[in-house]
Amino acid sequence: MIKKWVITGALAFGLLISLPLSGQAAMGDHTLRPGVWDQDVHELQAKLKAMGFFDFPITTGYYGPVTKQSVLDFQRTKGISVDGIAGNQTFSTIKNNLQSKSMTVSATAYTSECEGCSGVTASGTSLIEYPYAKVIAVDPKVIPMGTVVYVPGYGYAVAADTGGGIKGNEIDVYMKDYSKAVNWGRKTLNISILH
């Protein structure tokens, strides 16, 4: 478990329902290829992870060798053009192979920028090494570790951390900057759990 500065906490009750994965982000409005840093790469990595193709504990936003190999494996498995570049055909196939469930949660924010914070998540990932990771802390009895979620106002993230104050339908989103974590405050949100 990462020692961290929890900004605020609250309990909300949730409801699971099936929803389509449309309208959540703009992945697909441009081609993604190796060497790109982009919010859309977070989304690509998250969706590939939800389908078992992205074998990295978190999303980084960087289209490096692991992402390229994940795209190649996905393209090969789905019988589409195999080039390691995520374009329209890859995006369309991803969209057709994913579903999500909605859950209402109370969302707070935390950072590793605090005195005594180790910067290492419960899953063993260094947030110091990957400061732009999209990670949430969860109660693993409610949202299992490794689950991919979409959090409105935050983006696609991986449940890769826990916290003593996170109980039930609560999440804590990781923010690199302390001021952004404070400004996040406490929100009641409908998140999407990808599967």
Residues 107 and 180 in one domain: yes
For residue 114, give the nearest of 164, 187, 174, 159 by alpha carbon.
174
The per-residue pLDDT for range 60-115, each reduced to its tens digit, is 999 999 999 999 999 999 999 999 999 999 999 999 999 999 999 999 999 887 77
Decide if 152 is inside a domain: yes
pLDDT for 14: 32
d(CA 12, CA 174) in angstroms, rounded, equals 19
Neighbouring C-alpha atoms within 13 Å toward the C-beta of 86: 32
Which CATH number goes with the domain that contains 114? 2.40.40.10
Query: Do 78 and 106 sit in the same domain of this protein?
Result: no
Does 43 share its domain with 134? no
On the question of pLDDT at 186 being above 60, the answer is: yes
Least confident segment among 15-24, 55-64, 123-132, 181-190 = 15-24
Confidence at residue 136, expressed as pLDDT on a 0 to 100 scale: 96
- pLDDT score, position 117: 74
| Mean pLDDT for the chain overall | 86
137 and 63 in one domain? Answer: no
For residues 109 and 65, membership in a common domain is answered with no
Count: domains in the chain:
2
Residue found under tokens 């950072």: 111
Q: Are residues 108 and 177 in the same domain?
A: yes
Distance (Å, whole) CA 194 – CA 47:
7
Give domain status of residue 186, yes or no: yes
Q: How high is the pLDDT of residue 48?
A: 98
The residue range of the domain holding 141 is 5-18+100-194
Q: What is the pLDDT of residues 25-72, one digit of tens each?
A: 467 789 999 999 989 999 999 999 999 999 999 999 999 999 999 999
Residue 12 in this model has a pLDDT that exceeds 90? no
Q: What's the pLDDT at 118?
A: 79
